Structure 1
Amino acid sequence: MTLADLTPEQWLKRLVAAHDEERKGLELMNAYYEGRQPLSYMAPELLNELQDRMRQVVINWPELIVDSLEERLDIEGFRYADSETTAEDLWQIWQANDLDEGSQQGHVDALALGRAYAIVGTNDEDDDMPLVTVESALQVHAEQDPRTRRLLAAVKRWEEPCLGAAATKMATLYLPNSRHVFALDKGAWAEQRDEGDEHGLGQLPVEMIANRPRLAGPLGRSELKTVIPLSDAACKIATDMMLSAEYHAMPRRWATGASRDDFADEQGNPLGAFSSLAGRLWVNEDPNVKYGQFTEAQLTNFHETINALARLVAALTGLPPHFLGLATANPPSADAIRSSEARLVKRAERRQRAFGGAWERVMRLALLVRDGEVAPSARSLETVWRDPSTPTYAQKADAVVKLHSAGILPTEQAWEDLGYSAEQRRRMREMQHSALERAMGGDLAAGYGPKPQPDLLPSGEDAAEPAPATAGAVAAGPGRGE
C-alpha cells in the first residue's frame, strides 16, 4: 500500500504515532528555553540529602541565544517579481491575521524547537480574507514527501475544556484536498463528519517553517542542541557557588568548652539559627571556653569557570562576548562592537533566507485560498526583511542619501533601507504624488512647509516671503532641490 492509498483514519494514526515519538524531545527543548530544565551533573547523594533545601540557579543562556537571533528577524512586506513596491494585497492579509506578532512567535518556536508551522484556511467572518495561523510543533506534525520534499499530510492536536468533565482531545487532519476533524472517544479516534470539508486546493494548506533542516536529517534543528551541555554545566557551577556561599564563603565560628545551653538569651530561650551561626559577638563567663573562626572560602574559581563556559558559548553561537556579560577593562569602540556582531548578523541573514522562503509559500497558499489560483507574478515572490545589522540611524541615513543622490538608489528602495514600514511607505507615496499634482497645477510652493506666522518669529524680525520655487525644485518634487 502506498501513501496515496491511505484513508484519513490511517493517516491520523500514522501522524499521531510519529508526533508522540518526537514530542518528548520537543518538550525538553521547550523546557530549556523557558528555564525549566532539570539540574545536571549533581551527585544523587547530595540531591537526596539537600532535598527541598536547595533550589537550582538557572543561567538561561538558551533563551538568550534564541531571542538574540529572533530580535533581528522582522518582516517588512512582500514584493512581486514585476513590481518595485511592496505587495499591498499581501500586506493586508498579513495585517488582518496579526502576523506581525504571529511571525515573531513562529520564529521563536522554529529556533527553539527546530520548526513551526503555518496553516491557511477560509475565514468564516470574511470570505475575501484568508485565515492564516502560526502553530507550534508541540501541537502540529507533518510528513514530508521524500522525493519532492513537499508536505503530504499534517495533523494538529489540542484539548477542548469541558465543564465538569475531563478535557476532550481533538485532532484536525489536513490532506491536499480535504480536512477532517476527529475526537478521541474511549481510546479511539472518531471522525466528526459535520466539521470537516472538501476544499479541493490540490495541495496541503500547511507550511513548515524549519530551522536549519538537513538534506538527509531531521526536518529542523533546534539552536539549543549545541549549548545544552554548556548551559547545564553553568547552572551546576552557579548552584554549587550558592551552596559554597552558604556554608563556606560566610565566616563560620567554632567554640570549645561550651554547651548548647550557653547559646540562649536572658530568659533561657535558645537563639535562632541566624544568631547562633552568624552572630557578631559570642560571650561566655567560663574561662575554659575558647572561640575561633574558620577562614572563609573565595568564590573566584566559580566565576572563572562560568566565564570559561560563556566564552565557549560565544564561540559556538556567534554571540558577541558582551551579550554574555564578558566585559573588558577598556570599553570597546563602536566599530569593535559592530565587528563582534558580524557572525550574529550573518546567522540572522541565513535565517531570513530560509524563513523567507517558507513565508512566501504561505502567502501563495493565501492567494490560492482567496482567488482559487496563484498568479504567475506570485511565483517569484520576495520577502522584504529589516536589516539585521545594527548601524546607527545617522550612518544608515548618510549612506542612503549618498546612494540616492548619485542616482544609484531609487526613492522607494531608499525608504525601505531606512526602515520605514509598508504603511509608512504607502503614505509617503501618496504625499509625494499629492505634492507633484499641486506643482503641476501651478502651486509652486507645493514642496515647502507652511508659511511662518509673524507672532511666532523672534522679536524684531519680519516674516519673510518664501523664495519662489525654481523649475528644478518643482521637477524634483518634495525633498529635492529645496
Structure 2
Amino acid sequence: MAEPLTEAIRLARLLSAQKKPLEKNDNYFEGEQPLRFIAPILEKELGYRLSPIVINLALFATDVYEHRLDIEGFRLRSSSQADNDLDSAWQINDGPFLSQQLHRESLALGRGYATVGPGETSSDSPILTIESPFDAIHQDDPRTKRVQHGIKRWTDSDKTRWMTFHHQNGWVTWYRKGSEWIQDAHDDNEYNLCSLVPLMNDPRILGRVRPNKSDQRLGRSVFHPIISPLDSLNKIASDMMVSAEFHALPRRWATGLDEKDFVDEQTGQALDTFSMIAGRMWGTAKDKAKFGQFQEANLENFHNTIKLLMQVIHMQLGIPGTYLLFQGDNPPSADAIRASEAQLVKRAERKQTVLGAKWEQVQRLMLLNMGDREASERPEQIETIWRDPSTPTIAQKADAIVKLVGAKDSTGRSIVPIEQARKDLGYTEIEQGHMRDWDENTLTDPQLDAARKDLRDAAGGR
C-alpha cells in the first residue's frame, strides 16, 4: 500500500468527484430538483408565475423502506457478559436513533458510514458516530472485498481543514496548514478491521465509474429507478396547474384589433401578458372587431396521466398500491393489505441482510474497543436482531407465539422458551428484566404464597 497521506489525498479527490451525483440525490430527497421536460417558450411566457409542483415521492419511498428497518438489538453466541456490554454501549451511544438516521441516509444517498473509536478512558464506553457520504468514502480490498481503508474529512468553525485516514489496523489524522498536511494524532492496533464501516444500499459488484456519475459499487439511492417517472409526474402536475389557470380564466381571441388596442389608456404603456390573459373585459370602437373564447381545458387528462405514472412508480419500488394509487372509499381487507405488501417485505428483508452484516462489524469493533479482553470474549458470531418488516396484527403474533410456547417436545419441554417468546413479542431488555424479577418473586415470596393459600381456602378450595 502507498503512504497513508498519499492514499488519503487520492481518496479525497475521489470524494470530490462524487459530490455532483450525491447532490442530485440530495435535491430529489429534499424535493428541490429542477422541473424537467418543460418547454422553454412556456417557461419564458409564464415567467415568475410558473411555480413547479413537486410531489416528493423520493422522500416518501425512502421513509417507506426506512420504517421497516428497525434494529431491536444484537445477539452473541458465546458470552452473555459481552451481550450485556453491547446492549449497554448501544444505548449509551443512542444506537436506535443513530441507526434510523444512518439507514435513511443510506437509502436516500446510496451509502452512509459508521465509525467506532475508544472512549476517553479505558472505563468509558466506545464512541459510535455516523458520517455522511458527503464527508467520507472508502475503498475495498480487491482480494477480500473487505474495507481496505477510507477517509473522513471536515472543516472546523475556524476554517481549519481536517482529514482522518482509517485503515485496517488503526487511523491517522491530519490538519491543513497552508499547502501542507500536518499530522495531529494516530492510533495503531491489531484488529485487522477498518473502523470506517460503510452501510450501502443496492451496491453493484463491479459498477461503472464515469465522469460526474455515481460509482455504483458505492451504492445507489432507493429511488434511483423512479427518477425519470418522478420528473414526468412533476411536469404533468405543473402543467395541470397552468391549465387550471386557463380553466378558471379561459383564453380569448379577438380579430380586427391592432397593437394600439393593447395599451394602457392611463399610462400609455403596453399591457403585460398577464393583463391580457386575466383582463376582465376588452372593448374597442372598431365595428369590425370580433371577440370570443376557446373552450376550457379538460383536467381529467392530467388526472389519468398522473394515475398511470403512479402505477409505474408503484411497480418500480414494490410499494403496495394502497400507498400510492387513487382508491375508493372502501378500504381493502387486512388479508389483501398483507398480500399486497409481500414484495415490499421481501425487499426490506434483503436490505436487512446487507445492513445486518455491517452492523455486526460495528458491534465487533465496539467489543474490540472495550479495553483488554480475552480472545474468547471477542466473538466472531454476532447476529443483528431486526423487527419483523411485515405488519402482522398484535393478536396474530401473540397467538402464534403462545402456541409455540405451549407446544412440547418429547421430553416435555416447550419448543420455544418463555424468554425467547418475550423477545419475539418485542419487549425491551429492561421490560424482560422486570418480568424475570416478577417471576422470581412470584415463585419465592412466602407471603405471596400464603396469601394465595388463604384465597383458595376462602373460596372453598377452588
Q: Which of 154, 160, 164 is equivalent to 1:168?
A: 160
Aligned residues: 440
Amino acid at match of 2:313: V
Give SS of 1:30's match. helix
Q: Distance in 1 between matches of 2:175 and 2:132?
A: 20
Listed as ranges, the matches of 1:66-465 within 5 Å are 66-82=62-78, 87-124=83-120, 127-162=123-158, 167-186=159-178, 188-193=179-184, 195-217=185-207, 218-252=217-251, 292-328=292-328, 330-372=330-372, 375=376, 378-406=379-407, 407-438=414-445, 441=446, 443-444=448-449
State the Cα distance separating 1:144 from its structure 2 match: 0.6
- Cα distance in 1 for partners of 2:42, 2:253 equals 25
> What is the rounded CA distance, in whole Å, between the counterparts of 1:138 and 1:291 in structure 2?
59
Residues 221 and 468 of structure 1, relative CA distance in 2, 3 Å threshold: farther
Counterpart position of 1:22: 18
Answer yes or no: is the 8 Å Cα contact 1:264–1:271 preserved in 2: no
> Does the 8 A contact of 2:155 with 2:162 survive in 1?
yes
Residues 157 and 169, structure 1, Cα contact 8 Å, conserved in 2: yes
Counterpart CA distance in 2 for 1:140 and 1:92 is 27
Q: Partners in 2 of 1:199 and 1:87 — Cα distance?
A: 23
1:39–1:232: 8 Å Cα contact kept in structure 2? Answer: yes
User: How far did 1:241 drift?
Assistant: 1.2
- Shift of the alpha carbon at 1:44? 3.1
Structure 1 residues 260 and 411, CA, compared in 2 at 3 Å: closer, same or farther?
farther
Worse overlay, 121-130 or 63-72:
121-130
1:317 to partner: Cα distance: 1.0
**Contact 2:78-2:379 at 8 Å conserved across structures:** no
Structure 1 stretches lacking a partner, 5+ long: 449-464, 474-482
Q: Deviations over 1:339-374 (max 9, x none)?
A: 111111111111111111111110010100113455
The alignment's TM-score, normalised by the length of structure 1, stands at 0.81
CA distance in structure 1 between the aligned counterparts of 2:262 and 2:20, rounded to whole angstroms: 55
Look up the SS of the partner of 2:17 in the other structure. Answer: helix
Q: CA RMSD in A?
A: 3.4
2:404 maps to amino acid: L
Q: CA 1:466–1:85 in structure 2 vs 1: closer, same or farther (change >3 Å)? A: farther
Question: 1:49 and 1:383, CA in 2 relative to 1: closer, same or farther beyond 3 A?
Answer: same
Deviation (angstroms), 1:375: 3.5
Deviation at 1:300, TM superposition (A): 1.1
For 2:311, the aligned partner's letter is R
Name the aligned partner's letter for residue 428 of structure 2.
S
CA gap 1:398/1:83 in 2 versus in 1, 3 angstroms: farther
Where 2:157 maps in the other structure, the secondary structure is strand
Q: Distance in 2 between matches of 1:275 and 1:50?
A: 12
Match of 2:455 in 1: 466
Question: Any gaps of 5 or more consecutive residues in structure 2?
Answer: 208-216, 408-413
Distance of 2:177 and 2:130 partners within structure 1: 28
Mapped to 2, the partners of 1:134 and 1:386 lie a distance apart of: 21
AA partner of residue 466 (structure 1): L
Which amino acid in the other structure matches residue 392 of structure 2?
A: P
Q: Could you tell me how far apart the structure 1 residues matched to 2:150 and 2:451 are?
A: 57
Shift of 1:405: 2.3
Provide closer, same or farther for how the CA distance between residues 38 and 250 of structure 1 changes in structure 2, counting only shifts above 3 A. Answer: same
The answer for the alignment partner of 1:478 in structure 2 is none
Give the 3 Å change call, closer, same or farther, for CA 274–116 of structure 1 in structure 2.
Answer: closer
TM-fit CA distance, 1:77: 0.8
Paired AA for residue 90 in structure 2: W
- Distance in 2 (alpha carbons) for counterparts of 1:71 and 1:59: 20
C-alpha separation in 2, matches of 1:85 and 1:405: 30
TM-score (norm 2): 0.84
Distance 2:97 2:120 in 1: 22
The one-letter amino acid of 1:154's match is: G
User: In structure 2, how many angstroms separate the alpha carbons of the residues matched to 1:17 and 1:275?
Assistant: 53
CA shift digits 1:96-115 (9 cap, x unpaired): 11111110011011111221
Aligned amino acid, residue 444 of structure 1: D
Q: Describe the superposition over 1:160-207 as per-residue Cα deviations: whole angstroms up to 9, x where unpaired.
A: 122xxxx23221111233422222344x341233x3333454432121
Quote the residue 1:454 is aligned against. Answer: none
- Secondary structure of the 2:13 match is helix
The 3 A distance-change label for structure 1 pair 295 and 368 is same
State the AA in 1 paired with 2:162: M
Identity of aligned residues (%): 42
